[in-house]
Amino acid sequence: MSPNAIVRADGVFEIGLGLLLVIGAAAGSLDGGDFPTPVGPAVIVVVGVALLAIGAVLLRLAAGAVQPQLLRSLAIANSATAGAAVLWCIAADGFSSAGSAIVLATAGALLVLAAAQLSSLRAGRTLRP
C-alpha cells in the first residue's frame, strides 16, 4: 500500500468514526450512559466534529506528496491515542457495551494504521502522490 493510500485510509477512518459519533449522538443511540462521566452527547458531538475535520485534513494531505515525517507523526499519534483509549477502558467505570466496543475497536484500528505507517517508512518506498 502506498504512503498516500495509508494516509487516505487514516482520513477515511477518522471521518467514519466522526460520523458514527455525530450521528449516534444526534439519533440518541450514543449518550452519557455509554461513556464515563463527564462524557455526554455534547462531548460526543464535539469529538465527532473534530474527527471529521482531522479526516478532511488527512485526505487533503494524501492528495499531495506524503513525506516520511507525516507518516512518522501519524504513527506516533495513532499509537498514543490507541494506548490512551485502552487505558481509559481499563481505568474508568461507566462504559456500556457499545461504548467500550467503540473505544476498543477504535484502538485496534489505530494500531493497524500505525503499523501500516511504520511499515511504509521501513520499506523506504518512494513517496509520490
- Nearest CA to 7 out of 122, 85, 125, 116 is that of 116
Residue 72 lies in a domain: yes
pLDDT at residue 125, rounded to an integer: 54
Residue 129 lies in a domain: no
Contact by Cβ (8 Å): 117, 76: no
Residue 58 lies in a domain: yes
pTM for the model stands at 0.91
Residue 117 lies in a domain: yes
- Residue ranges for the chain with pLDDT beneath 70: 125-129
pLDDT at residue 123, rounded to an integer: 83
Measured over the CA atoms of residue 88, residue 19, residue 114 and residue 96, the dihedral's sign is positive
Q: How far apart are CA 7 and CA 125, in angstroms?
A: 14
Residue 33 lies in a domain: yes
Contact by Cβ (8 Å): 80, 107: no
Exposure of 20 by Cβ count < 10 A (0-12 exposed, 13-18 middle, 19+ buried)? middle
Residue 81 lies in a domain: yes
Residue 128 lies in a domain: no
Residue 38 is part of which domain span? 3-123
Residue 49 lies in a domain: yes
pLDDT at residue 126, rounded to an integer: 46
pLDDT at residue 129, rounded to an integer: 47
